[in-house]
Amino acid sequence: MLTITGLSHVYGNGTRALDGVNLTIPAGMFGLLGPNGAGKSTLMRTIATLQSPTSGSILFDGLDVLKEPEALRRTLGYLPQDFGVYPRGSAYDMLDHMAVLKGIGHGGERKQTVEALLHKVNLWDVRKKALAGFSGGMRQRFGIAQALIGNPRLIIVDEPTAGLDPEERNRFLNLLAEIGDNVVVILSTHIVEDVADLCPRMAVLAGGRILLEGAPLDLIAETQGRVWQKTIDRAELDDHMRDYRVISTRLFAGRTIIHVASDGSPGPGFTPVTGNLEDVYFSTLDASRRPVTPVAA
């Protein structure tokens, strides 16, 4: 279990990227959802001990991560957002090299590890090809292979599916789903479906703060009776945006379908809909952006 308490980070230029983050992350797949600039990468890099926070603490199964970063690194698998160096070396050689860096020195054991991982991520047939020639999906599958070296107990994947086509995204998510239940896996993403597809627990991070935490199914159940739908013409959109708490819009057959957050019927033409995780996410972001109404004295 990973326990984060009062974690804050202020960059040198004054940007407060994390602002008192408290999170308890059990074993299994945990989705950390947030818009661009929310602080996700800052949080992931801090947990991965690549940068030190301004204040706060992180414990992983009793280990004080900030005091003993080396010990954490031995049990960490990390796929950073910008895993972007694609040298001319082959997939096999690079993975072998990374296994050496991870301390798997013994030749036979390393060979077995590297071969098993290449099979697992379905890159065995292209193991002799240069990483530089890999597609985005192949690179991300290589990225997960290197993260799995040495059977880590904490795995962090930062925005792994951005830019993948649907088939590769599926392949990648299936790989994540195969990681054992006893491992803490943190999936940081701005893509709601990634979390909906995989994660029994999740949190929403925005503006460096945790806005929401829980099980997606419970959070969806809580939207019952609070999400309303209406189909309108495009020309009516601006008025609706002004008059209602519109949490999402999408086009269907040339018309616009809006979802509105409201505790009762917002008005004529609206029908109640069963919320989904997108509604949970966007209504949470919407609520956090609304000015706080002062309580009358």
Ligand X SMILES: Nc1ncnc2c1ncn2[C@@H]1O[C@H](COP(=O)(O)OP(=O)(O)OP(=O)(O)O)[C@@H](O)[C@H]1O
Binding site for ligand X (CB under 6 A): 11, 13, 15, 17, 34, 36-42, 81, 159, 190
In this structure, the number of other CB atoms found within 10 A of the CB of residue 124 comes to 14
Sorted by sequence, the CB contacts under 8 Å of residue 55 that are 6+ apart come out as 6, 7, 8
Nearer to ligand X by Cβ, of 37 and 214: the residue is 37
Q: Count of alpha carbons within 13 Å of 260, Cβ hemisphere only?
A: 26
- Closest separation in Å from C-beta 14 to ligand X: 8
Per-residue buried b or exposed e for 215-246, using 16+ beta carbons within 10 Å of the residue's own CB: ebeebbeebeeebbbbeeeeeeeeebeeebbb
Nearer to ligand X by Cβ, of 31 and 275: the residue is 31
Nearer to ligand X by Cβ, of 42 and 146: the residue is 42
SS3 177: helix
**DSSP code of 271?**
E
- Closest separation in Å from C-beta 257 to ligand X: 27
Nearer to ligand X by Cβ, of 102 and 190: the residue is 190
- Closest separation in Å from C-beta 38 to ligand X: 4
Nearer to ligand X by Cβ, of 40 and 169: the residue is 40
Angle between helices 136-148 and 107-120 (to 10 degrees): 140
Pairing of strands 271-272, 2-10: unpaired
- Closest separation in Å from C-beta 250 to ligand X: 22
- Closest separation in Å from C-beta 153 to ligand X: 24
Look-up: residue for tokens 């990374």? 98
Q: Count of alpha carbons within 13 Å of 231, Cβ hemisphere only?
A: 5
Nearer to ligand X by Cβ, of 17 and 227: the residue is 17
- Closest separation in Å from C-beta 285 to ligand X: 13
Residue 3 host element (H or E): strand 2-10
